[in-house]
């Protein structure tokens, strides 16, 4: 196992507090492994094995498990005279799990950690039964830094600028980076993650009957990463292909994809008006490899996938991220966290003077003193222009300064 301190150390801070620790994220992003790392941390602190109980509810062993059986099963294995540390993996597979977890947390001396991969982890039942009693942690596929750690452990590492290409193309699902894999092998794994998420967590659970219609919406979103669009524009596009679909259905499909952690919605923020806008949002993928595995590799999408990587890194570091609207121009990202804020422009490379002027002038129009970045991948990605820092995207992803 490659240690993932960003998550483990944040979660372990809540050890022995009354809060239930909930880890959510797309399938196969490493949630189960992080639970094991937390168990190891507890053992290092002197917690005995008989105080640590774990269940993985996506196993066939629990295929007929009910909430009442779940409660009885766990209750029978609790430590009698010490605190029990309970780890419940893919707990959403058990109907009524919220009631069970709440009862255990209330009735016994217990510290609970759970994971889940779909919309049932975001349901109203959590709010109803666990209000004020839980903290949630969003788990992402490997960051660029974690990706390099995996490469060092299992294969060889080139320069970080060259490695960014591999990270962009193959994404960050841990299973792909446990050894050398061809593109076909890697994308087979990613397609399996995609298919299991779509059919188990979305189609089957939401009783989607018009599968072809749903898949066309998915492919539209995947093919338009980093572009502003609305449900209306998707509906209009599909109608042009003689595939009639109403706006409400598109909205529902987008929400289902979000709830399954396949995509993230990024709203626009009016910098001058200081308000969120409700139209023309952007969507980003949970991992860049999804686009290539589902649609095929296309070098024309490199710029949008670089933007996708930067967006995820900002989320990973705890920022709330929006698109910035400044009069008639757009700032790729405004990232805010507590009292911190930064502005980011992402571009593959700058080959023309007018492109350079456009990228920098947008940021110069913002009248505040928060950090501003232009991120690129060409040889001249360095320096400072009127307070705007230019960085190679790889260096930005590894930076500790934001």
Q: Give tens-digit pLDDT for 284-299.
A: 999 999 999 999 988 8
**What pLDDT score was predicted for residue 402?**
87
* d(C-alpha 290, C-alpha 210), whole Å: 22
User: What is the tens place of the pLDDT at every residue in 131-175?
Assistant: 789 999 999 999 999 999 999 888 877 799 999 999 999 999 999
Quote the longest CA-to-CA distance of the chain.
Answer: 72
With a cut of 80, say whether residue 241 has pLDDT above it.
yes
With a cut of 90, say whether residue 42 has pLDDT above it.
yes
Which string of DSSP letters, residue by residue, matches 132-173? Answer: TSEEEEE--S--HHHHHHHHHHHS----HHHHHHHHHHH-S-
With a cut of 60, say whether residue 124 has pLDDT above it.
no
Position 352 confidence tier, pLDDT thresholds 50, 70, 90? low
Residue 220 tokens, joined: 């539209």
With a cut of 90, say whether residue 350 has pLDDT above it.
no
Q: Are 310 and 375 in contact (CB under 8 A)?
A: yes
Q: Tell me the residue ranges of DSSP E strands in 107-262.
A: 110-116, 134-138
Residue 225 tokens, joined: 């990463």
H/E segment holding residue 131: none
* d(C-alpha 149, C-alpha 157), whole Å: 9
What is the number of residues in the chain? 402
Q: Are 309 and 288 in contact (CB under 8 A)?
A: yes
Q: Which residues pair with 135 in a beta bridge?
A: 21
* d(C-alpha 376, C-alpha 203), whole Å: 38
In three state form, how does the secondary structure of 263-301 look?
EEEEEEEECCCCEEEEEEEEEEECCCHHHHHHHCCCHHH
With a cut of 70, say whether residue 125 has pLDDT above it.
no
Position 358 confidence tier, pLDDT thresholds 50, 70, 90? confident
**Residue with tokens 């707990």, as numbered in its chain:** 91
With a cut of 90, say whether residue 91 has pLDDT above it.
yes
User: What is the tens place of the pLDDT at every residue in 299-325?
Assistant: 889 999 999 999 999 999 999 999 999
Give the mean pLDDT of 184-193.
96
Kindly give, in sequence order, each residue whose CB lies less than 8 Å from that of residue 266, ignoring residues fewer than 6 positions away. 281, 282, 283, 284, 311, 321, 322, 323
With a cut of 80, say whether residue 28 has pLDDT above it.
yes
Rounded to the nearest integer, the mean pLDDT of the chain is 92
Position 200 confidence tier, pLDDT thresholds 50, 70, 90? confident
User: Does 273 or 142 have the greater pLDDT score?
Assistant: 142
* d(C-alpha 92, C-alpha 58), whole Å: 9
C-alpha distances in Å from residue 191, one per residue of 100, 165, 197, 204, 260: 34, 20, 10, 18, 15
Position 280 confidence tier, pLDDT thresholds 50, 70, 90? confident
Give the mean pLDDT of 254-274.
93
- 44 backbone dihedrals φ, ψ, rounded to 5°: -65, -30
With a cut of 90, say whether residue 376 has pLDDT above it.
yes
**What pLDDT score was predicted for residue 123?**
56
**Residue with tokens 């919309």, as numbered in its chain:** 119
């Amino acid at each position: 196992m490659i240690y993932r301190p960003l998550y483990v150390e944040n979660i372990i801070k809540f050890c022995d507090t009354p809060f239930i620790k909930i880890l959510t994220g797309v399938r196969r992003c490493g949630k189960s492994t992080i639970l094991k790392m937390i168990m190891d941390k507890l053992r290092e602190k002197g917690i005995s094995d008989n105080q640590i109980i774990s269940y993985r509810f996506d196993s066939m062993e629990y295929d007929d498990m009910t909430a009442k059986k779940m409660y009885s099963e766990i209750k029978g294995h609790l430590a009698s005279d010490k605190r029990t540390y309970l780890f419940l993996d893919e707990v959403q597979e058990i109907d009524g799990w919220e009631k069970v977890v709440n009862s255990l947390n209330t009735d016994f001396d217990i510290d609970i950690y759970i994971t889940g991969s779909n919309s049932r982890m975001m349901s109203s039942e959590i709010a109803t039964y666990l209000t004020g009693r839980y903290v949630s942690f969003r788990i992402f596929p490997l960051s660029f830094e974690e990706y390099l750690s995996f490469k060092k452990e299992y294969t060889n590492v080139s320069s970080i600028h060259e490695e960014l290409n591999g990270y962009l193309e193959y994404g960050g699902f841990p299973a792909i980076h446990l050894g050398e894999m061809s593109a076909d092998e890697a994308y087979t794994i990613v397609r399996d993650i995609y298919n299991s998420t779509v059919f188990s967590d979305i189609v089957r659970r939401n009783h989607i009957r018009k599968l072809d219609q749903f898949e066309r919406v998915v492919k539209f979103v995947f093919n338009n990463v980093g572009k502003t669009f609305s449900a209306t524009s998707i509906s209009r596009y599909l109608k042009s292909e003689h595939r009639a679909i109403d706006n409400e259905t598109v909205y529902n499909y987008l929400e289902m994809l979000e709830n399954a952690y396949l995509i993230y919605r990024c709203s626009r923020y009016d910098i001058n008006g200081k308000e969120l806008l409700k139209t023309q949002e952007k969507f980003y993928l949970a991992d860049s490899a999804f686009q290539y595995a589902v649609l095929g590799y296309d070098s024309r999408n490199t710029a949008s996938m670089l933007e996708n990587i930067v967006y995820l890194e900002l989320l990973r570091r705890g920022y709330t991220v929006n698109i910035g609207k400044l009069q008639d121009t757009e700032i790729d990202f405004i990232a805010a966290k507590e009292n911190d804020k930064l502005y980011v422009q992402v571009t593959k490379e700058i080959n023309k003077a007018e492109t350079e002027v456009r990228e920098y002038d947008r940021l110069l129009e913002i009248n505040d003193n928060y950090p501003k970045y232009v991120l690129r991948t060409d040889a001249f990605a360095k320096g400072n222009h009127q307070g705007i820092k230019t960085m190679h995207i790889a260096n930005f992803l590894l930076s500790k300064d934001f």
